[in-house]
Amino acid sequence: MSLLGLIGGFVRRHWRAYASSALMLAGVALCTVWVPRKIGAMIDGLAAHRLGERELLIELAQLLALGVAIYLLRVGWRLRLFAAAYQLGVELRTRFYARLSAQGPAFYQKQRTGDLMALATNDIDAIEMAAGEAMLAGFDGSLTLLMVLAIMMLGVDWRLATIALVPFPLMALAFWRISSQIHTASTDSLKRFAALNDHVQESLSGVRTLRALGLEERSAKQFGILAAHASEASLTAQQWEAAYEPAVGLTLTAAGVFTLGLGSYLVWHNELTIGELTSFTMYLGQLIWPMFAAGWVLSLIERGRAAWTRLQPLLDEPLSVDDHGTIASVVPGTLVLADVSFSYAGQDTAALAGVSLALPAGQTLGLVGPTGAGKSTLLRMLLRQATPQHGQVTWGGQALGDYTLSALRSAMSWVPQESFLFSATIADNIALGRPGASRAEVEHAAHMAAIHEDILRFPQGYETHVGEKGITLSGGQRQRVAIARSLLAHSSLLLLDDALSAVDTGTETRILEHLEELRREQPGRSAIIASHRLSAVAGADLIVVLREGRVTESGSHDALLGAGGWYASQWRYQQLEASLDAL
């Protein structure tokens, strides 16, 4: 869809606002073109002594009334138009946000956060201006131009109108050249602003790392370079926009010279009155706005086109995970992976290769293996953040793809290793999955996650604001708050992706004991714990060892120790390491 197609569809949906604005603009144009005619008639009347004092006052009162009417109509059309035009920005941002929310990790691996933020702000602002200011300025300028030309040609003198139009083709050629340059410059300006925005976002997110490595000066220099490039690109676009004014000025100056030359000749030969020449000159002055409007509209349209060219591909990009399921609720049952394989784009080796396992409802599965073995990939497969390229995953006898994404994800609670907390209170972060939970339920979940005592040590307790991304909390505290949040959600399947890596072994033991208590209280609740620390999965009903995306060992803790494989050797190593740390 082109930008004009987008705006056309929006105008059709909000035709009442645009129609009423157009009617008011038509009224403005009528009043505006009437003013020079009245003034010309007044001058001729005064010159011929046809206007007395009373008649002159009436004429002046009518001119004042026309001025008031123009003011009120201009205020009215702006109120009506911009109330509608801003709605396009709301619709586009809502649509863009919904699309971003529905995309999976594969989409964000290709996109930069700063660029997405720039699209949601700068680019949509440009499209909004094209739908608002440009549409009505174009209508207003075109209508005024047609009415002024008509009255100049039919109401004053067609010869003057013809000679006045001689320079206009040259102005049209200049406008075509300028508008093409503005499109190129605007595209470059938007891209450079996005790069600047991305640098700021990354720098603020990693400000502690920059300080720790002493890279503040380097980051500031990079910012200065990007800011200079963005400024230069914006200045180039502004310079080309400024070129419209000289083109308009030269055209109208030439038209004025031609008009005064021919007009003087016609007045000298009594073929034109001074009042008519005055009216015509005023009409020529009224052509300034349509000409400037044409340049302004072309500038806004080109900026909008450049922005829409950047935004449309993201709005139309297919979802990285399709949501075509029809089952709106999950009935917990056995979770089965049957010969599942998956490879990331651009990778030669498979992240998962022929993985098969079964987890009955109410049991706990432990996933262990070296770094890069495929543990996190398997969990993302269950969350449908990735789709198996071979094999199938079923839950309760239904393929995961048969469930709607909202139903599937509401039945699962996921705690990643890098837990994300929102800039809110600790209580609000824990209650995120169940906003209506009572304080007692929130505190019980925090107790189960072994974070309750830590929270009470803060001066404001559960009302403590954690800052952006939970910056005021330690890594272990963030993990435990995230675990409390997942426990409060009462989901059927709990997924812990190395979510105990930042806590000590004593706290880990307490959390695992509480999870076992919850499993006894809620018999149908299953859990999958992926961990590098084998002590976190020792109590699981089934432990699966993944190596290079394949299941190499499986069984209970005791069975795997007796098998003498990777699990047994890793267990002995970690136990020895723990005993040395205790010394």
pLDDT for res 450 = 85
Distance CA 532, CA 516 (A): 20
pTM: 0.68
Instruction: Assign 3-class secondary structure to 336-399.
Output: EEEEEEECCCCCCCCCEEEEEEEECCCCEEEEECCCCCCHHHHHHHHCCCCCCCEEEEEECCEE
Name the CATH code of domain 335-411+491-582 (choices 3.40.50.970, 3.40.50.300, 3.55.10.10, 3.90.580.10): 3.40.50.300
Give the tokens for residue 61: 């009162």
Beta bridge partners of 189: none
Instruction: Assign 3-class secondary structure to 298-325.
Output: HHHHHHHHHHHHHHHHHHHCCCCCCCCC
DSSP 326: -
Give CA 403 to chain center in angstroms: 28
Number of other CB atoms surrounding residue 42 within 10 Å: 21
Give φ, ψ of 166 to 5 degrees.
-60, -45
Under CATH, what is the fold of the domain 3-316?
ABC transporter transmembrane region fold (1.20.1560)
Distance CA 342, CA 549 (A): 9
DSSP 507-554: HHHHHHHHHHHHHHHSTT-EEEEE-SSGGGTTT-SEEEEEETTEEEEE
Instruction: Give CA separation, 127 vs 138, 179, 329, in Å.
Output: 15, 16, 40
Max Cα distance, the chain (Å) = 122
Residues in the chain with pLDDT values less than 50: none
pLDDT for res 308 = 85
Q: Is the CB of residue 76 less than 8 Å from the CB of residue 24?
A: yes
Supply the Cα-derived Rg of the chain in whole angstroms: 36
Give φ, ψ of 451 to 5 degrees.
-120, -5
The residues spanned by each domain of the chain are 3-316, 335-411+491-582, 420-476
